[in-house]
Amino acid sequence: MKKKIIKGLITTSLVGGMAVGMAPFASADSLDTDTTVGFKTDTHVPPVVPPNPDALALRWAPKKFDFANTHEAGSAGPAISQKAAGGERYVTVQDGRSTAASDEWKLTMKASELKTSATKKLTNATYTLVDKDAIEYLSTSSPELAASKGSVDATIVTDPVTNLPADGATEVKIASAATSAQKNWSIQVDDLTLKVPTTDVAAAVAGENYNGTITWTLSDTI
């Protein structure tokens, strides 16, 4: 009778998922470690409409120049001379013209006013750009990638920029070719510095960002 009762208990317990009389298996301690992977956006932006391969056109330009938001406003704040953060930045020129061997081009830059959302502006801000050699562009991908970079092309003349005013009107030449070829070139522009004098720093609104744009223009005359 005793054996019969035990058998019935075992049968009932197995249906429930565990036999009575069997100790549950003891698990070891465990801790979780999170894993993650992220992807940043491209640092360069192509034209909205891809350029005609037979035309003189811009292929890429930097998406953004960030001069940080760590500066202190007010009369005690020092003047700003801040280089743009981040890595390499390029403006890429395409010359696919059939008569390119005898044609010329120039690349210019112009800086808009730097304003807050309330349109308060920095009246005396300027930009300085150190010129670097132009290199041949070899790819269809972003120009800072290794596969996109060719050798230095000495036929492309690059010009430094000194104190370009952020006024939306002044335009300066940063690269040019007197005799071009059917190629693509990347003009490096990451060595860009923003200068803001003490008068603008003193009048700046704390907690506000001053935003603007830099316009790159490619034309077929020098």
Contact 174, 107 (CB under 8 A): yes
**pLDDT of res. 33:** 77
From the list 204, 114, 109, the residue with the least C-alpha distance to 166 is 114
**pLDDT of res. 26:** 65
> Read out DSSP for 118-179?
T--B-TT-EEEE-----EEE--SS-TTSGGGEEEE-TTSEE--EEEEESSS--EEEEEEESS
- Distance of alpha carbon 105 from alpha carbon 118, whole angstroms: 38
C-alpha triplet 170, 196, 134: angle, nearest 5°? 55
**pLDDT of res. 141:** 94
Q: Which residues partner with 195 through β-bridges?
A: 81, 126
From the list 105, 185, 175, 188, the residue with the least C-alpha distance to 153 is 185
Ranges 26-30, 82-86, 105-109, 125-129: which has the least confidence? 26-30
- Residues 162-180 have a mean pLDDT of 96
Give whole-number Cα distances, 140 to 60, 137, 147, 185, 195, in Å.
10, 9, 9, 12, 34
φ/ψ of residue 214, rounded to 5: -115, 130
Q: What is the pTM of this model?
A: 0.82
Q: What is the pLDDT of residues 64-119, one digit of tens each?
A: 999 998 899 998 889 999 999 989 999 999 999 988 778 899 999 999 999 998 88
- Provide the token pair at 112: 């808009």
132 Cβ contact partners less than 8 Å away, ≥ 6 residues apart: 158, 187, 188, 191
Neighbours of 67 (CB within 10 A): 20
- Residues 48-76 have a mean pLDDT of 92
